[in-house]
Structure 1
């Protein structure tokens, strides 16, 4: 089943709304790029909801005999990208969408590129029209006069051949100059168009890479914080254990010392009693 870009956009929008996607925004990029016609950007509250929205869109397309050509970021769920050729879908969690503001990037970057390419071409054409074109008649006449004077002095050179050569060359020069101007305008127009496409693709790729790197860095920070917290808690537990163990040891030592002193005292009294008994006998 073949659908137009607008119909496909509405179908995808319905599928996203079914899974409670919000802040849905469509950007028309058909005048700037050949990659796609529309970008559809929406927000989900969690990575689980992002995956649910992506599944809903894919199921809706399958029902209508269509398919998703590629899908990225599904496992992570913080930024899911789905490509259907005519529409590219971006599903963001709120933090990632607010941080990178992709729709603002496209609206800011595409406008000046479109305007700049057409303005440059029109200004170039106006400048070419205003620039004075040299008339070959005067130069040819001056050359003719000079050559007539030369032929009157020397009879050896044929006059006809001398007259024809400069006229043909001047005509050729005037034609090539006009052609050069037209070719230059066409080249610059094509170059401007190529620059738009060249700027588009790397900007999108680099933007995606930057976001992925930022997400990866955030995850690394979280993991580092968790590891630090675990290390701190284990240190606290170890220090508490050492303290409790030290207290127990000190108590035991005190108990042993008191027991030894009591034993000595008892031994002293026993020996004293024996001595007394011996004295009485």
Structure 2
């Protein structure tokens, strides 16, 4: 599975759990960490955990190794490292505070519909 397919798969998984403001940040040529960051948020800790679990489970179903998952217990900012795609699931308050979109404003940022169509 290539990075674009993995991105689409994880976007669909987080959308199924009603993640909000789903975007992808194209990190190719910017960072060696991953090809894409997927960023979204939930409105409470339980939803944040459900979103993260859905992304992790969907990747594992497709044979993708989850390298690392951090922040699950606190559910304020959960990071799921899938190698080519790093999923950031924020609690709404934390997302506003860290504002990854602004940090990587020079990168190509795609919304949910744009990722699904590509």
2:12 to 14, 39, 58: 14
Q: Find out whether 1:67 has 2:65 as its counterpart.
A: yes
Mapping 1:46-195, distance limit 5 Å: 46-108=44-106
Task: Return the alpha-carbon distance in structure 1 between the equivalents of residues 33 and 12 of structure 2.
Answer: 23
Task: Return the alpha-carbon distance in structure 2 between the equivalents of residues 107 and 68 of structure 1.
Answer: 27
1:38 to 36, 39, 58: 36
Q: Deviations over 1:172-214 (max 9, x none)?
A: xxxxxxxxxxxxxxxxxxxxxxxxxxxxxxxxxxxxxxxxxxx
The answer to which structure has the higher strand fraction is 2
CA contact (8 A) 1:30 1:37 kept: yes
Rg comparison, structure with higher value: 1
CA contact (8 A) 2:42 2:89 kept: yes
Q: RMSD value over aligned CA atoms?
A: 1.4
The answer to which structure has the higher helix fraction is 1
TM-score relative to the length of structure 1 = 0.37
Q: Deviations over 1:18-49 (max 9, x none)?
A: 11101001010111222210010001011111
> RCO higher in 1 or 2 (8 Å CA, sep ≥ 6)?
2
Count of residues in correspondence between the two structures: 108
Structure 1: state its 5+ residue gaps.
Answer: 112-281
Deviation (angstroms), 1:67: 2.3
CA contact (8 A) 1:58 1:67 kept: no
CA contact (8 A) 2:45 2:76 kept: yes
TM-score relative to the length of structure 2 = 0.86
Deviation (angstroms), 1:62: 1.7
Please list every run of at least 4 consecutive aligned residues from structure 1 whose deviation after the TM superposition is greater than 2 angstroms.
none
